[in-house]
A and B are shown apart, each in its own frame.
Chain A
Amino acid sequence: MKGTYLGEFEEVVLLAVAILAGDAYGASITNEIEQQMGRSVNLGAVHAALHRLEEKGLLSSRLGGATAERGGRSKRFFTVTMTGTKALDNIRDIRNRMWGAIPKPA
């Protein structure tokens, strides 16, 4: 297992997979990120991040669910693993702690 450090875009992708919960595959993840963040992203970048996250063990994938829209090609569904969930929690804890540490303006 590679280091568990998460890059910013990886974090976004991981969150998107978590949001889509069971219906997360390349195209839907891309759409989700575009909607949430309001900017266009490359499919290549998304897949590269998915690939890395899978290598780190934060995601797992399985094939299935071909549709006519896809020219009959199967989808690769991604789900967040336990390690992935822990990593997200961890990040949120750190963020919260840091937010809390900001001194309140008088």
Chain B
Amino acid sequence: MNNPIQPPQWATRLLRWFCASHLVNDLEGDLLELFAQRVLTYGPREARRRYVRDVLSLIRPFAMKEKPEKYPKPAFIQPAMIRNYFKIAFRNLAKHKLFSFINVLGLSAGMTACFLIALYVHFELTYDAFNQKADRIYRVAADVKTSSETLHYAISPWAMALNMQKEFPQVDAFVRVQKDETLFRKGDLKFNEENTVLADSTLFKVFDLKLLKGDPKTALVAPLSLVLTETAARKYFGDSNPMGQALLFGDDSEPALITGIMQDPPLNSQIKGDIFVSMSTYTAHQDKNIEREWGSFGAIAFVLLKPGTDPAAMARKFPAFVQNHAGKMMAEQQMQIGLNLEPVRDIYLHSTRVVEESGSVDNVYIFSVVALFIMVCACINFVNLTTARSVERAREVGVRKAIGAAKAALARQFIAESVLMCMVAFMLSVAISAALLPLFNELAGKQISKGIIYEMQFVGIEFAAAWLIGLIAGIYPALVLSSFEPVKVLKGRFTTSIKGVMLRKGLVTVQFAISILMIIATIVVYTQLDFMRNHDLGFSKDQTLVVRAGAGRGRDAFEASIQDFAGVKSAAASSAVPGGWNPQAYSKVENSSGEMQAGNLDVYRIDYDFIRQYGLKVVAGRAFSKEFGTDSTHSLMINEAAAKVLGYVSPQDAIGKKFSQWDRQGTIIGVVKDFHFKSLQENIKPLTFRVIDFWNGNLLSVKVDGGKVKQTLSSIENQWKTMHPDRPFSYYFLDEFYDRQYRADERFEVLFLNFAALAIFISCLGLLGLASYSTVQRTKEIGVRKVMGASAASIVGLLSKDFLQLVGLAFVIAAPLAWFVMDRWLQGFAYKTDIRLWIFIAAALLSALVALATISFQSIRAALMNPVKSLRSE
């Protein structure tokens, strides 16, 4: 064997690997013998070559086949044993009903939360993703810089899109969309369609909206062409074919032809609407000069770039392009327009420009992390609870092992049991998810999902995940259980290790920290909302009905006709009401240093009754009055914030100063005390009031008597029907309308409340697992203590103390974190409540109470147990 020339080792290893054990010895011997001979006769090279060839030639069935065992093994899977496993599993579930229920419920709560969050995250991340050309679609948005500020618009100048297509060869197509509430009539049917969208004929080229009937190329070309969604078509025409029929469009009731029916756009699309009207209706029919206007902003413009275009290079040419067209206008109006390209898929989640709908990428991240956390916690708790109960199964394991069960078979049994639990949890979770989906949609404020049957791929993923969780979660308890030594467990002595207790304690602490964080966050959100609801807004919003009365002489006539109704206290017409949208006007006002200061100011057009009806305080000068004929053309009122911006120390100083705004010049006649015409999230901005013209401003605020709202409302409605039989009566209550601004925050509140509850529930499960585990371990200690005369109360205290310490530690971690996070959240509000100490105390007490209740589940039982039982076995 000292021969230095050796055969290739890999070939030998290969042989040992594939060759049956009873053959390998003499085959290797033959190979070595031949090799030694051949080294002498042919030389080492050839000998090695032949060696390898021989090894390879031995890869044959006979060499691989193991010799049959003398004593046959039992089959890997035996139906009788499988049946027995299932029987035992179900008996165990049934024997500890409450415990199993809590365990399964915890897991399915985690799964459900994850499932719903996954739906939400997927929905948000795939916004606009249905467009196959999405990577080439960009929104062209304008930044407008004036001397005082920069405004970031989502819209762009009307003249931009056409010129851009003419001058930039990279542009394949553009489409402008503008949402506009429009009145539609067909016979007796009349609707104010809130989701009417003006769109260019290229809509179907840029976006993948599917036209079911009609030609996508021509459907929206001619003025007064309509494309209805299926839903809208059904609403007006039922089952009959709407193609080629007409609807009466707008306040002038022009007949508009239906040229197409489209599939309802996906819910996660920016382009959304019920009725699409050709853009040419506006640009070529209603306002023929609009497309030459660079100073007039409106419509969101999207461009489809040709494949391979570099958007950054294109954007670099924008300043010259704008300067070329609008340079003169910008110089005159002292403003600067900048254009930006935003990829369509980034708009919804990332853009900060104000549009009707926008998502928050932070929320997506937060929710994903929350989902992951919940799932991990739920799984670990599941493992903990299962392992904690393993002691009760110790005897079973002992008996099984004594009878001859192999360790692997036992491990398989316990893993299968855990998978079984997971499957039960999965089914429960699917049922809960299905039931919660409508609620969840409501909570999210949008239709994330139409129902569980539309989410089968998610259910499939959940199913696979449940299997995986069952397998992974089952491994640890299975290994612990299957490695019990039969002699010891049957004698009644367990040696459960202290290992992993620190980990469990740490985990429970983290869970409780998160729960406390959630509790504090919920309380803070609630107090802030409460603060906002009860904050003095500076105007009266109660018992005020706002009727969409339309512009024109008809509005004034209607206003006059209802003034005398019983229950109507007063009525006032305006173009805007607090909490709603109002336009901004380019204005020049004389400031404290005598210059004409230019800027975009918010405008309310109001009639003579508005100031009084809304309870606005005039702090200097006077309100508009019919007695002054010049008020309707040469007067302006401002709020205190505006006076401050202009540099006046006292509101009185602003009176009589010059202004020019929207074709009116004159003097400031009054200053109004600041009131919150926008939500409390914003500071009060400078605001101007001017007297309304009969042709604009379509809102009529009616103050009604609190006692007879219903009768008054119906008599107003009747009056409307007699005066305007062709138009629907539409109205809202001002207080509800105003509070609508807080809907997002209210959602936030409900969401937090739910997650806080879930977090508490899951962390309680963790605590329960830990408590039951350590109580079982201390059974004997408790027995001895009782024998020595300890009272039940002192034992409960002893057992609870450790866990309350954990909760205390969790509070120490969570409180500063919560303060930090919620302080940042409150920064988003201009008017905010303080984070008070009582919030922290309440959170601490609440979590301690919940923890105590959870532990008592175990500790009281342990304390009341007869010590004879626990001590007898030794």
B 1-40 to A, binary, CB cutoff 8 A, 1 in contact else 0: 1000000000000000000000001111111111011000
Please pick, from B34, B59, B63, the residue contacting A30 in the complex, using a CB distance under 8 A: B34
| Chain B CB within 8 A of A7 CB | no
Known A-B contacts A30-B34, A43-B34; A63 and B28 likewise in contact (beta carbons under 8 Å): no
Residues of A within 8 A of B56 (CB): 44
For A56, list chain B residues within 8 Å (CB).
none
CB distance from A19 to the nearest CB of B (A): 18
Interface residue from B25, B28, B60 paired with A44 (Cβ < 8 Å):
B60
Chain B residues with CB under 8 A of A31: 34, 37
Contact assessment for B34 and A71 in the assembled complex, using a CB-CB cutoff below 8 Å: no
Say whether A45 faces chain B, with CB atoms less than 8 Å apart.
yes
Q: Determine the distance from Cα of A70 to Cα of B276 in the docked complex, in whole angstroms.
A: 91
Inter-chain contacts of B62 with A (CB < 8 A): 47-48, 51-52
Known interface pairs A30-B34, A48-B62, A68-B1; A43-B26 also in contact (CB < 8 Å): no
CA of A47 to CA of B28, assembled, Å: 12
A25, A48, A75, A76: which contacts B60 (Cβ < 8 A)?
A48
A27: which of B1, B34, B60 is its contact (CB, 8 Å)? B34
| B251 CB-CB contact with A under 8 Å | no
Known contacts A26-B26, A73-B25: A43-B59 contact under CB 8 Å: no
Chain B residues whose C-beta falls within 8 Å of the C-beta of A45 in the assembled complex:
57
Q: Are B32 and A69 in contact (CB under 8 A)?
A: yes
Chain B positions within 8 Å of A47 at CB level: 27, 30, 58, 60, 62-63
- Measured between beta carbons, the chain B residues less than 8 angstroms from A26 are 26-27, 29-30
Contact for B36 among A43, A44, A69, CB less than 8 A: A69
A96 interface residue, CB < 8 Å from B? no
Complex CA–CA separation, A51 to B23 (angstroms): 11
B32 engages A40 (CB within 8 Å): no
How far apart are the CA atoms of A34 and B56 in the complex, in Å?
A: 19
- Is A21's beta carbon under 8 Å from chain B? no
User: Are A70 and B32 in touch, CB under 8 angstroms?
Assistant: yes
Chain A nearest CB, measured from B65 CB (Å): 10
> Closest Cβ of chain A: how far from B37's Cβ, in Å?
7
How far is it, in angstroms, between the C-alpha of A31 and the C-alpha of B35 when the chains are bound?
Answer: 12
Q: Is the CB of B30 within 8 A of A30?
A: yes
* Given A44-B59, A48-B60, A68-B1: A25 and B30 interface contact (C-beta under 8 Å): yes
**A90 at the binding interface (Cβ < 8 Å):** no
Say whether B57 contacts A27, CB under 8 Å.
no
- Kindly state whether residue A4 has any CB partner on chain B within 8 Å: no
Per-residue contact bits, chain B 136-175, to A (CB 8 Å; 1 contact, 0 not): 0000000000000000000000000000000000000000
Report if A83 contacts B (CB, 8 A).
no
Closest to A44 in B: B57
Are the C-beta atoms of A42 and B53 separated by less than 8 Å?
Answer: yes
Asked whether, in the complex, the Cβ of A73 is within 8 Å of the Cβ of B26, the reply is: yes
From A43, A68, A72, A74, B31 is in contact (CB under 8 Å) with A43
Chain A residues with CB under 8 A of B58: 43-44, 47
Q: Which of A25, A42, A70, A74 has most B Cβ within 10 Å?
A: A70
What's the tally of chain B residues with a CB closer than 8 Å to chain A?
Answer: 24
Cβ < 8 Å to A, chain B residues 353-378:
none
Q: Which residues from chain B contact A30 at a C-beta distance below 8 Å?
A: 30, 34
A28 CB, nearest partner CB in chain B, Å? 8
Inter-chain contacts of A36 with B (CB < 8 A): none
Q: Mark A47-71, 1 if CB is under 8 A from B, else 0.
A: 1100110000000000100111111
Residues of B within 8 A of A27 (CB): 29-30, 33-34, 37
Shortest A41–chain B CB gap in Å is: 9
Residues in chain B near residue A43, CB distance under 8 A: 27, 30-31, 34, 54, 57-58
Q: Known contacts A31-B37, A43-B34, A48-B60; is A74 also within 8 Å of B29 by CB? A: yes
Q: Is the CB of A66 within 8 A of B29?
A: yes
A26 to B31, CA, bound (A): 9
Interface pair B31/A69, CB less than 8 Å apart: no
**Cα-based distance from A39 to B296 in the complex (angstroms):** 98
* Interface: B634 (CB within 8 A): no
Quick one: CB contact mask for B201-217 with A, threshold 8 Å, 1 for yes?
00000000000000000
Given contacts A40-B50, A44-B56, contact A70 B37 (CB under 8 A): no
Chain B 245-281 interface 0/1 with A at a Cβ cutoff of 8 Å (1 = within): 0000000000000000000000000000000000000
CB-based contact A70/B54 at 8 Å? no
Is B26 within 8 A of A74, CB to CB? yes
A2 to chain B, nearest CB (A): 13
Interface residues of B (CB under 8 A from A): 1, 25-34, 36-37, 50, 53-60, 62-63
List A residues at the B interface (Cβ < 8 Å): 25-27, 30-31, 40, 42-45, 47-48, 51-52, 63, 66-76
23 contacts between A and B (CB under 8 A): A25-B30, A26-B27, A27-B34, A27-B37, A31-B34, A42-B53, A43-B57, A44-B57, A47-B62, A47-B63, A48-B60, A52-B62, A66-B29, A69-B36, A70-B29, A70-B33, A71-B28, A71-B29, A73-B32, A74-B29, A75-B26, A75-B29, A75-B30
Return the 8 tightest CB-CB contacts between A and B, nearest first: A44-B57, A73-B29, A26-B30, A42-B57, A70-B29, A43-B54, A44-B58, A76-B26
